[in-house]
Structure 1
């Protein structure tokens, strides 16, 4: 088995350790892959630095052509990729197809918009520097390491891979040990297009391989995953002063105002909480509902959630828990919520039938419950009443899950002011997860959720360094940057300064 394991670039490597991926629905083997070590990572970085020089020299227009060609390769073979995502995660085919489409949209947007976002542009100057012409541009960092997520093994890492490559970097992608095949497929699709220029490499392995990538002295690490994993990555990267962009797991919240369309809000809450078996970081963990519409909303949620059925067939609403240990997290959180006074509206502990978890809806859950303070896991939705929108803000901010908040109301004009009071990266109005399909829209966490941004212009700039240039075009009227300045020049400068800044 070891002799046939695949590692860097998907080629043959003889390794003493082998990683096997399994279909969580059936337990069947999907593939065997090499567990790469520090020496392998060192070689991968060396190759990446060579490829990065060629890639950066192409410029924005050249990289755009290559990336759009790569996009077409992925689209033509999308059926293979959908099947592989379904096999490694257990997702229904429809969910896997949506993930592929969203990933391709991000690749397309990054390729087409990198020059506009990162190209050199003129800057203004002050009165004293009118003779200077200033500009700013954004250059690639060099080599970026990406540590992938198992929950969305293509869409989430593509939010770093596509943007880093469009900015001119080479990328070394270490997929989750649960979904290595998706990463290998991605690298092989690039290799078909540019076999002699491994701008994208994939390294397979377990947590030791991820640690080796953090120590490999790349120019930046992008990580998506658990709280514990984020802290470990930050700690490892600190040893080499490698900057990190982090997207931690942890679903967001919903606020339902008294004037909300309750059917729409209930539909969004259930989908946000239950889709992908509740394993979507862009999803909904808890809904805070105005007291006067609390019971009608809860009834609608219960009716919708009660119709869902997990499973491994095409008609299933969602698939299994991808990470086996997450099942125990769901059990522990539900048990704690009920023990502290929360009430079960749909499902309960008997809904947990590994590897599947049937829908669970909890109501009136104390805010210090593990189900609220812990990382959200599984198809579980918490619905709590609030006396006012001020109380909703206090509860959302206290939980510190700062990725996204969905607000449902007919009075959309009040939302911007309301949103500014919430410590969150994204606020949506009358929708929940749709924002994840807008490539131009940057999102990132605050506080404990994460650091840095994904998607949009901010996502492109995450993988660049700033280069500012100032050029002296002629001798200024008030040249103060010299020891030969005349006293008359300084008097004139002071007079102009008072005139420009000392008056109302």
Structure 2
């Protein structure tokens, strides 16, 4: 099927922009530290100075996005990331001296972190500013140039990002290409020195295949079903607040949101009722509550309601925060919803939810909970609630996940000193802070030999000196 004229134009723009950035990188392959710091300050100011414009654009794209949540998860996170990178850039870029083994002595060994070149960033709709600008911060800190493809599901925010970045950077350093899924596919088909993708596992496979054709390194920030393990002794009063906050922030449209709960013992209903009570404190009357975010599109709204109706048809106990059903439907809001012990074959237990629905499943023991987690794909995040450090250590030893928060939810994501990324089906590679800088850098090994070097003693013809040195090397 032929592309529309607009899509064809967007696709045609990609190649020349990459070529211009490659030419600029060739002219300046080592961007000075002072210029990189200025780049990072520009991103920080972009977020802070245009908070109102950003909040308005995201609100319009979602049909209702909490401005307070936008301030917290878009503006503050972006500004913090830029400040952290600017403060630590000199240390990250400094050559790292490493020991030299006996066989290579005398000499000096070090590692230089050098920019990879021109990178592609494909960002999603759920946090359209943070998940565009934080990878860009890492790329600029590394000294790279970047071409960005934001999501077509948030067109106003994508257009605003394109305008604000164009006001601050020449297109041969940072540029944005907008358009639909066909534009995104064409974008990923180009050769980049690194390709960074945030989104679904299904599309992530296609991105990895496209990058593989050029042997381009790729970072995949995906998702999956992030579990919560509740120890039998974890107090309801303490766990209800972080569970409700983590699940219902941004109406659950968060890649690291708790996706289901494994509650040790016979208390899934008690946990569910505690979570709903907390949700009603957070969001009284969701249909008219500006702090409660709408579902991003009619298609996503229908999919989530279908999950609820499938569970209802199977007799699953469903708890919902009090709401006016008609007002909620008019504003495309689904109230905070808890499902008690849904069967494993339901869609809500098989698919990543990405909405304000929280299944709570009873499990016999911590070992049974860990076995349940291990029976599925490795999740992007894992949460464990327990006051017993032995239980926490056992869960960490017995499971795999991208990251972990203990006795809270999602907070590992907020620490720029911790790498953020998945494992297996939930992603590959990581970023945030120094790890992001390293993701867009090449660790270049440098060895400087002394004027006289021991390699002269281990060259043919091999004799007594070689045998003596090789014996010493084998013992060292």
Question: What TM-score results when the alignment is normalised by the length of structure 2?
Answer: 0.90
3-state SS of 2:45 partner: helix
Give 1 or 2: higher helix fraction: 2
Q: By how many angstroms is 1:497 displaced?
A: 4.0
Q: By how many angstroms is 1:379 displaced?
A: 0.5
3-state SS of 1:133 partner: strand
2:161 aligns with 186
Q: By how many angstroms is 1:259 displaced?
A: 2.6
After superposition, the C-alpha distances for 1:105-137 in whole angstroms (9 at most, x for unaligned) are 122223333443343211112222221311112
3-state SS of 1:383 partner: strand
3-state SS of 2:259 partner: strand
Tell me, yes or no, if structure 1 residue 288 matches structure 2 residue 279: no
Distance 2:4 2:360 in 1: 50
1:324 aligns with 298
- Mapping 1:127-276, distance limit 5 Å: 127-194=102-169, 196=170, 198-276=172-250
2:35 aligns with 62
Q: By how many angstroms is 1:81 displaced?
A: 1.8
Which of 68, 75, 78 does residue 94 from structure 1 map onto? Answer: 68
Tell me, yes or no, if structure 1 residue 81 matches structure 2 residue 54: yes
Which of 371, 378, 398 does residue 394 from structure 1 map onto? Answer: 371
Q: By how many angstroms is 1:169 displaced?
A: 0.9
Distance 2:162 2:48 in 1: 15
> More deviation in 468-477 or 290-299?
290-299
3-state SS of 2:425 partner: coil
Q: How many pairs align?
A: 468
1:461 aligns with 438
Distance 1:474 1:144 in 2: 40
Distance 1:366 1:36 in 2: 48
3-state SS of 2:318 partner: strand
Q: By how many angstroms is 1:392 displaced?
A: 1.1
Query: Whose RCO is larger (CA < 8 A, sep 6+)?
Result: 2
Q: By how many angstroms is 1:495 displaced?
A: 3.9
Q: By how many angstroms is 1:317 displaced?
A: 3.8
1:431 aligns with 408
1:368 aligns with 345
Q: By how many angstroms is 1:179 displaced?
A: 1.8
RMSD over aligned CA atoms reads 2.7
Distance 2:397 2:28 in 1: 40
Contact 1:251–1:280 (CA<8 Å) still a contact in 2?
A: no
2:354 aligns with 377
Contact 1:154–1:182 (CA<8 Å) still a contact in 2?
A: yes
Distance 1:370 1:328, change over 3 A: same
Distance 2:145 2:475 in 1: 51
- For structure 1, the 5+ residue unaligned runs are 1-14, 19-33
- For structure 2, the 5+ residue unaligned runs are none
Q: By how many angstroms is 1:483 displaced?
A: 1.7
Contact 1:221–1:242 (CA<8 Å) still a contact in 2?
A: yes
Distance 1:397 1:480, change over 3 A: farther
Q: By how many angstroms is 1:447 displaced?
A: 1.8
Which of 18, 25, 31 does residue 45 from structure 1 map onto? Answer: 18
Q: By how many angstroms is 1:310 displaced?
A: 6.8
Question: What TM-score results when the alignment is normalised by the length of structure 1?
Answer: 0.85
Distance 2:419 2:297 in 1: 28
Distance 1:179 1:312, change over 3 A: farther
Q: By how many angstroms is 1:235 displaced?
A: 2.7
Q: By how many angstroms is 1:273 displaced?
A: 1.4
Distance 1:326 1:378 in 2: 9
Distance 2:352 2:192 in 1: 29
Distance 1:193 1:203 in 2: 16
Contact 2:60–2:156 (CA<8 Å) still a contact in 1?
A: no
